[in-house]
Structure 1
Amino acid sequence: MTARTRAPRAIETVLRRASSIPPASVAILVFLASYSCALLPRTPPIEGPAPVASLERVTLGGVEQTMLVRGADTSKPILLFVHGGPGMVGVPLEHAMRYLEDDFIVVTYDQRGAGKSGSIEDGAAPIGRYVDDLVELERLLVARFGKERVYLVGHSWGSLVAMLAVKQEPALVAAYIGVGHVVSTIEQEALSYRFAVDRARETRNSRALAELSSVAPPYLGEDGRLRMEDLALQRKWLELLGGVWYDYRKMGNKDMLGVYFSAREYSIVDWMEVERRAKYATVATWNESMAIDLRVDAARIEAPAYFFTGRRDYNTPHELISDYYRSLDAPAGKDFVWFERSGHVPFMEEPERFHAELLRVVAETEAARTRPY
């Protein structure tokens, strides 16, 4: 079997495990992935007064990692996006945010052990490594583009890494934007599971109830390590019961995966590694993430903080995000923004609103910076 035939099969496995996508949709996405992967990895050029469009390898913390840098004008602010997971891919997400390229230098990257970036197969993946990598990347970007700071966006798991990076090096961050924020993984998993069970009962979904009753957070096996199949089962039902997207029938995991697999920045070999690396990174970081509570570990930060929260997000339940926001000591300012027609992914579900709110963040940050005292 050739690499080209193995890759679509690996992609199909990822699709089926990620959510209950109809077979026809799976076939279409696998075809698109096979087509995109048939070419050498590249990113298309972009037009503008001072454009940048670059797929690059950078060394962070001694590990080669891949980043995508795109923008129509390098005089604009840097927007650095920290992806979720852990172990999911970051580079392809830029395709879902192309609408930001006129106003920002948009930077996405695959964290260590994810996508096109170096592995963590030494058996250890302390979260501090991810934080240090991010701070190093911030320094690299501000030096390269002659900026003072970056606008830092952390999504889901990426919000945990990003918030700890803000706490560590606030001077590098013009403003922090948390999307689908992790606060306490162990508490959020319990709330997310309870939501799925309650919705299954409300809708009299006996199959969902039966399957959900076979697992329980924090989804650990007898060896004390994460059982990925248990977590995947809960996530499957969470989407189908309305806890991930505003309306998964109109936009759901299949659309996110469609974004991933349309990325020309990935080769066949890259996609063959995605599932294995995602599983490994999640298991390797799970137990440590359970011990983190940002209400304690990042109770105060010195950069402006914004929380972009989907009203129907029960992947990272908004009750805990609201609680963290209220308790957070942020002397530089903080704001909580509801996305009423979003779940866990407002940058895809409400792109125009997301764009407008980011521009507001920049305007407010710049106004505060230049305000006379």
Structure 2
Amino acid sequence: MSTASQNTRSDNLKDLLGSGDHTVNLNGVDLHYRVCGEGPLLFLISPGWGVGSGYLQRGFNFLRERFRLVFIDTRGSGQSGRPADRMKMSSNDMADDLEALREYLGLSTLQLLGHSNSGAIALSYAERYKNHVSKLVLIDSQMLGFSSGNDTQAFLEARAEDPRYKTAVQAAIGHFSGKAKPLASDAELSAFVAELLPLYLQSPEKNLALAREQLLVEQISLYAFEAQNAADKAAGSDQTALLDQVRAPTLVMVGRHDWICPVPVAERLHAGIGNARLVMFEESGHMPWIEEPEKFAAELIQFLEE
């Protein structure tokens, strides 16, 4: 490649990854991403169920002095658009959007971070586009095809009479049992997530206010919540069968007291991925960067800078 061509490509990349908001049409969907910080690129993916990347932008702001952060709103969430076919809202479809974005940006590899359901999206990408991932971070990750329902049920039963969790447990059981009134709007879904939020923390009495500040800012999309769940069920993906396809060095992080993506999920990820490291946060639930921020930041930065 000539020097002129290299300079042109570099200028284009600076434009495409310049600080601020960007939208590009990929796979028939307007995909929104926000860029901030300086340093090596790190792509942070929102979960696919409607919450958007805003909470990641607030929770992982500490990385911006070391990395150029690219926060992606998955299709149907945040500021990204919806597909014409709502059955194209699966986690695998969202992973395909990442591949389209990589090609659009002209990058050979991506350094990926996923939390909760976006861990499943990042994992899907790493399993199916294994040569295009340089590092993978899975934080309290979901894994499609791996059932943790018994652990979640045990967690809820153990906290049913704890005043810190009692109302949240009742709301969760009502929803999962189908006995609660179906959610009918973004506002109702957002209120439901707010009601459940204590369950995501080991110490809600200390950390609930900060969790609310990070997670409960934007409205959550009921469309994405319903469509992704239906599309993933229809796809019937089993990510456990492809764990050995992940080639990238992988950091698996999990809170000991996570109710929705409990420890056995992380242990299965660690056992199945050849080049994986497992870090447990003994005093955390689903969001260890809130409950053990110093340890979390140290472990994450060490891995990314190795």
* TM-score of the two chains, using structure 1 as the length reference: 0.66
Alpha-carbon distance change, 127 to 239 in structure 1, aligned in 2, over 3 angstroms: closer
Deviation at 1:161, TM superposition (A): 0.8
SS at the partner of 1:117? coil
Partner residue in 1 for 2:94: 130
- Equivalent position to 1:152, from 77, 94, 112: 112
Deviation at 1:190, TM superposition (A): 4.6
Deviation at 1:353, TM superposition (A): 2.5
Which has the bigger relative contact order, CA under 8 A and spacing at least 6? 1
Alpha-carbon distance change, 77 to 247 in structure 1, aligned in 2, over 3 angstroms: same
The answer to whether structure 1 residue 259 and structure 2 residue 214 are counterparts is yes
Alpha-carbon distance change, 109 to 140 in structure 1, aligned in 2, over 3 angstroms: same
Partner residue in 2 for 1:324: 269
Aligned-CA RMSD value = 3.4
Measured in 1, the distance between the counterparts of 2:230 and 2:125 equals 20
Mapping for residues 328-347 of structure 1, pairs under 5 Å: 328-330=272-274, 333-347=275-289
Alpha-carbon distance change, 110 to 234 in structure 1, aligned in 2, over 3 angstroms: closer
Which amino acid letter does the alignment assign opposite residue 64 of structure 2?
E
Partner residue in 2 for 1:57: 23
Contact 1:61 1:129 in 2 (8 A): no
SS at the partner of 1:187? coil
SS at the partner of 1:249? helix
Indicate the percent of aligned positions where both proteins have the same amino acid.
23
Gaps of 5+ in 1: 1-50, 263-270, 365-373
SS at the partner of 2:20? strand
- Equivalent position to 1:173, from 128, 133, 141: 133
Measured in 2, the distance between the counterparts of 1:169 and 1:359 equals 24
Which amino acid letter does the alignment assign opposite residue 285 of structure 1?
Q
Larger Rg: 1
Using the TM superposition, name which of 94-103 and 230-239 deviates more.
Answer: 230-239
Q: Deviations over 1:309-365 (max 9, x none)?
A: 112211211122213322x142xx11001122321112333333333222221343x
Alpha-carbon distance change, 210 to 284 in structure 1, aligned in 2, over 3 angstroms: closer
The answer to whether structure 1 residue 100 and structure 2 residue 63 are counterparts is yes
Deviation at 1:235, TM superposition (A): 6.1
Q: Deviations over 1:193-220 (max 9, x none)?
A: 3311232157798867766664545x59
Alpha-carbon distance change, 187 to 65 in structure 1, aligned in 2, over 3 angstroms: same
- Equivalent position to 2:75, from 87, 107, 112: 112
Measured in 2, the distance between the counterparts of 1:261 and 1:112 equals 20
Measured in 2, the distance between the counterparts of 1:59 and 1:260 equals 27
Mapping for residues 1-373 of structure 1, pairs under 5 Å: 52-72=18-38, 76-91=39-54, 93-120=56-83, 122-124=85-87, 125-141=89-105, 143=106, 148-184=108-144, 187-201=147-161, 214-216=174-176, 219=178, 227-228=182-183, 239-240=197-198, 243-252=199-208, 254-259=209-214, 274-275=219-220, 278-290=221-233, 291-326=236-271, 328-330=272-274, 333-364=275-306
Alpha-carbon distance change, 194 to 280 in structure 1, aligned in 2, over 3 angstroms: farther
Using the TM superposition, name which of 60-69 and 114-123 deviates more.
Answer: 114-123
Alpha-carbon distance change, 84 to 126 in structure 1, aligned in 2, over 3 angstroms: closer
Alpha-carbon distance change, 312 to 137 in structure 1, aligned in 2, over 3 angstroms: same
Measured in 2, the distance between the counterparts of 1:209 and 1:120 equals 34
Alpha-carbon distance change, 220 to 116 in structure 1, aligned in 2, over 3 angstroms: farther
Gaps of 5+ in 2: 1-16
Measured in 1, the distance between the counterparts of 2:293 and 2:98 equals 25
Alpha-carbon distance change, 184 to 239 in structure 1, aligned in 2, over 3 angstroms: same
Count of residue correspondences = 284
Contact 1:87 1:280 in 2 (8 A): yes
Partner residue in 1 for 2:3: none
Measured in 1, the distance between the counterparts of 2:50 and 2:173 equals 27
Q: Deviations over 1:99-123 (max 9, x none)?
A: 1111111110211111111124633
Contact 1:188 1:316 in 2 (8 A): yes
Which amino acid letter does the alignment assign opposite residue 69 of structure 1?
V
Measured in 1, the distance between the counterparts of 2:126 and 2:71 equals 17
Contact 1:84 1:157 in 2 (8 A): yes
Deviation at 1:192, TM superposition (A): 1.9
Which amino acid letter does the alignment assign opposite residue 252 of structure 2?
F
Contact 2:152 2:262 in 1 (8 A): yes
